[in-house]
Amino acid sequence: MILECPECRTRYLVPDSAIGHDGRTVRCANCRHSWFQSPPELPLEPLPEPVVSLDKPVDRDPSESDGAGAAAMPPLPSFVSAAPPPPPPPVVEAPATETFDAFAHQPPFRQRRNNARRWTIGAVAAGLLMLVGVIAILWLGAPGIGASLGLGTTESPLRLRDNPIERRELANGSELFAVSGQITNPSSDRQRVPDIRAELKDAQGRVVFNWTITPQQRTLGPGAAIDFNSAKLDVPPNSKRLELSFAGE
């Protein structure tokens, strides 16, 4: 049967057995309103027609004047009563602390999620991740990446000293271009060693070739020094001058 809440008009489809023959008090899962639900109306079965025997004469009431030969109406059976049925016994409603109804169905809608709050939390988390990435770029050994992003462009106290360039022709006809030098720390503090940017320029001062040299270690103590070296094949023949600098300066 279908139940309808008299307050919010929410409808529920429940089996007849859940209400029972005597009815019961139900509660709306949407607005928490309670009411007494009567049992479903059962179809009335027709009473069996009385059987009149023709072997014996039918007694008549002298007061009847419906004409001769009419048969008298039989009396009502003993189980048929003209009085209305007694009202159902009152049902005691469960206390207000009860929050679960086994026969209550879910309301036909669900509460909407707060998408704006979820987007805000995601944006804050993304910002924190970006901040951690920037710190890693600046302090965890990626100064070259920081320079390409425009970060960490302060001048390093370290000093570069390059050795003469070595050009050597290999057996396969290729030319080997070798660069070497030394990094020193003249300061009294321990310094981080960034990448070294090597640029080859032509006679007009234009950059014709460049690459990055990774140092052997990332930190250098006070007054310490480390060597570096790098080699490239088949550099442009019009390169005339080599310039070395720290990435990020």
Q: What is the pLDDT of residues 146-159, one digit of tens each?
A: 545 555 446 788 99
Residue 104 has pLDDT above 50, yes or no: yes
Whole-number Å distance between alpha carbons of 139 and 28: 62
Q: What is the pLDDT of residues 116-126, one digit of tens each?
A: 888 889 899 99
Q: DSSP assignment of 106-150, as one string?
A: PPS--PPP-HHHHHHHHHHHHHHHHHHHHHHHHHTT-HHHHHHTT
3-state helix, strand, coil in the chain (%, to 5): 15, 25, 60
Q: What is the pLDDT of residues 193-207, one digit of tens each?
A: 999 999 999 888 899
Helical residues (DSSP H) of the chain, grouped into ranges: 16-19, 115-139, 143-148
Rg (CA), the chain: 51
The yes/no answer on whether domain 159-246 falls in CATH 3.40.1380.10 is no
Q: Report the pLDDT value the prediction gives residue 69, as an integer from 0 to 100.
A: 44
Domain locations in the chain?
A: 1-40+88-109, 115-141, 159-246
Which of 61, 84, 91 has the alpha carbon at shortest distance from 73?
Answer: 61
Q: Report the pLDDT value the prediction gives residue 76, as an integer from 0 to 100.
A: 43
